[in-house]
């Protein structure tokens, strides 16, 4: 997450480019398996189970890559003290438009960390905003592994809004 502050305006952007690239590797490998192996000369010599396994590998790589790319959105938070407005934008790869949430800065109740764990059980952290009406706006498509870094970013945003 990159945070830029200029005077009375703060912009926090998070683009999970590395995860998108990692997903693209899986999409590419799955596409390669599904597009080339069934048309190879060796395909005729494979048994039914071998063919099924090859197709399952290709489909699972393609599906996992697409899921990884699609499930990690880019986010942009803009806080403007001059106008007293905040804007949260969220866009998943493949969407044509951003999902936009606008709110008065006076409705911003808290900036805190959402703690979770990854598939290995290691802790993960994401910054979220809590609004007066109970909505929670996550500022990350991908979580952060470092609590210290996440707390620093949350503290910077909190300081800007006077919390």
d(CA 88, CA 123) in angstroms, rounded, equals: 25
Same domain as 12, residue 48: no
Same domain as 133, residue 64: no
Same domain as 121, residue 41: no
Instruction: DSSP for 10-40, please give it.
Output: EEEEE--HHHHHHHHHHHHHHHHHHHHGGGS
Same domain as 64, residue 26: yes
pTM for the full model? 0.81
Residue 3, judged by CB atoms within 10 A of its CB (0-12, 13-18, 19+), counts as middle
Q: What is the pLDDT of residues 127-160, one digit of tens each?
A: 999 999 989 999 988 888 889 999 999 999 989 9
Q: Which domain holds residue 11?
A: 2-16+75-161
Domain count, the chain: 2
Q: What is the pLDDT of residues 54-108, one digit of tens each?
A: 999 999 999 999 999 999 999 999 999 999 999 999 999 989 999 999 999 999 9
Find residue 4's DSSP bridge partners.
11
């Amino acid at each position: 997450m990159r945070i830029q502050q200029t005077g009375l305006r703060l912009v926090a952007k998070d683009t999970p480019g590395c995860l998108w690239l990692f997903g693209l590797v899986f999409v590419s490998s799955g596409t390669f398996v599904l597009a080339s192996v069934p048309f190879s000369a060796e395909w005729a010599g494979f048994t039914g189970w071998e063919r099924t396994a090859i197709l399952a590998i290709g489909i699972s790589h393609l599906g996992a890559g697409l899921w990884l790319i699609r499930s990690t959105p880019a986010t942009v938070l803009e806080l403007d003290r001059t106008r007293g407005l905040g804007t949260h934008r969220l866009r998943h790869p493949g969407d044509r438009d951003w999902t936009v949430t606008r709110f008065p800065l006076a409705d911003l109740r808290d900036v805190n960390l959402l703690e979770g764990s990854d598939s290995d059980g290691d802790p993960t952290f994401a910054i979220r905003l809590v609004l007066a009406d109970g909505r929670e706006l996550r500022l990350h498509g991908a979580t952060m592994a470092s609590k210290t870094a996440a707390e620093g970013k949350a503290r910077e945003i909190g300081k800007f809004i006077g919390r």
